Amino acid sequence: MDPMYKGLFFILIASIIGAFATLNFKKGSAEKISIYNKHLIKAVSLSVFSFTFYIYALQTAPLTFIYLTASISYIWTILLAKYALGEDINQFKKVGIFLIVFGIIVMNL
């Protein structure tokens, strides 16, 4: 497989796992920070898993190029914020997310 595609594949998996890790970090942040905080345990485990894929991705593609696929994680996270946490996604946030995701794509043209 082309190293670039391999890198993209790894970062895609890393970002999916990472988005769920982020959700658990947010949930766990409202509770006391301890080794018994179930959400944080889940978040850290998912992060370690994501981190492994991330390192492999770094090995095969340039750092800035990797961010192209990582931009999808912003959409996933905003969807998780809305549907899993019930946060209000107003126009400002929508425009902001659009600019961020589009900006990341433009950056990598």
Partner 1 sequence: MEDNTKGIVLALITTAIVSIAQILLKLGSEKFNITSVQGILSQFTNYHLIIGGFLYVGGAVLLIMAFRYGELSVVYPIMASSYIFVTLLSAKYLGEIITGPKVAGLIMIFIGVLFIGNSGKAGEKFVKTNQKKLSTKGDQ
Residues in contact with partner 1 by the rule CB under 8 A: 22-23, 25-26, 28-30, 33, 40, 44, 47, 51, 55, 58-59, 62-64, 67, 74, 77-78, 80-82, 85, 87-93, 95-100, 102-109
68 neighbors 108 (Cβ within 8 angstroms): yes
Compute the least distance from the CB of residue 103 to partner 1, in Å: 3
Compute the least distance from the CB of residue 101 to partner 1, in Å: 8
| Cα–Cα distances in angstroms (integers) from residue 1 to residues 7, 59, 60, 73, 88, in the given order | 10, 14, 11, 24, 42
Q: Which is nearer to partner 1, 1 or 106 (CB)?
A: 106
Q: Which is nearer to partner 1, 12 or 100 (CB)?
A: 100
Tokens 């659009």 appear where? 98
Compute the least distance from the CB of residue 83 to partner 1, in Å: 11
